[in-house]
Amino acid sequence: MKHYRERFATLGLYENCMFAGVGDLLELLLAQNRTLYIATSKPAVFAVEIARHFDFARHFQRIYGSELDSTRTDKVELIGYLFERENLEVASTLMTGDRKHDLIGARRNGLDAAAVGYGFGSHAELQARRRPITSRPWPSCIKPSGAESRPAPAHAAGFSRCSGR
């Protein structure tokens, strides 16, 4: 784990690229006055640097992640921590994610969840959770300004490993 983290801290975290449409979506959500948070199992120090490097940190109120000592690597615990710290209302929050752990974390914290059709989770993994709102790509599941709006997502990850880097 030490070798992995040393490499990730200096090189690996820059080997990402944003999925097409996510930047536009984040701009749309900001224009709709949504309050966005990131809840990732990655160590917060890495998540903050990724967000800074790829210029999407400005879209988020705060970025929550695990600690290097493995505190809050469990998504249930992490989402609970975010809610406690931010004093958010469950009824007005939507958790979006690409893995079953995102959906489990949302459900166990009483949140509605949207499974997104990009990222590391497979369609089968997400469908096994049975209750996601959607598994379509993000841009098609957020309504434009003036339309009926959804609650602001508490999680907005939109990155993938780029091949060949």
CATH number of the domain that residue 37 is part of: 3.40.50.1000
CA-CA distance, 159 to 15, in Å (whole number)? Answer: 10
Residue 136 structure tokens: 């379509």
Q: Is residue 3 part of a domain?
A: no
At 1-38, the pLDDT tens digits run 788 888 888 888 898 888 888 889 899 999 999 999 99
Q: Is residue 122 part of a domain?
A: yes
Q: What is the pTM of this model?
A: 0.76
Higher pLDDT, residue 10 or 81: 81
Proportion of the chain above pLDDT 70, given as a percent: 76
Higher pLDDT, residue 64 or 96: 64
CA-CA distance, 39 to 79, in Å (whole number)? Answer: 7
Q: Give the model's pLDDT for residue 74.
A: 96
CA-CA distance, 26 to 159, in Å (whole number)? Answer: 13
Q: Give the model's pLDDT for residue 82.
A: 96
Q: Is residue 4 part of a domain?
A: no
CB 65 within 8 A of CB 40: yes
Q: Is the pLDDT of residue 60 over 90?
A: yes
Q: Going by C-beta distance under 8 Å and a sequence separation of 6 or more, which residues neighbour residue 131?
A: 103, 107, 113
Q: Is residue 5 part of a domain?
A: no
CA-CA distance, 63 to 48, in Å (whole number)? Answer: 6
Q: Which helix (H) or strand (E) holds 40?
A: strand 37-43
Q: Is residue 1 part of a domain?
A: no
Higher pLDDT, residue 150 or 110: 110
Q: φ, ψ for residue 4 (rounded to 5)?
A: -60, -50
Q: Give the model's pLDDT for residue 163.
A: 32
Q: Is residue 106 part of a domain?
A: yes
Task: Output the CA angle 74-158-103, nearest 5 degrees.
Answer: 40
Higher pLDDT, residue 138 or 84: 84
Helix 2-10 with 44-53: angle, nearest 10 deg: 20
**By residue range, what is the domain housing residue 48?**
23-158
Q: Is residue 74 part of a domain?
A: yes
Q: Which helix (H) or strand (E) holds 97?
A: strand 93-97
Q: φ, ψ for residue 56 (rounded to 5)?
A: -120, 0
Handedness of CA 43, 84, 29, 55 (dihedral sign): negative
Helices vs. strands in the chain: H and E counts, helices first = 6, 7
User: How many separate domains does the chain show?
Assistant: 1
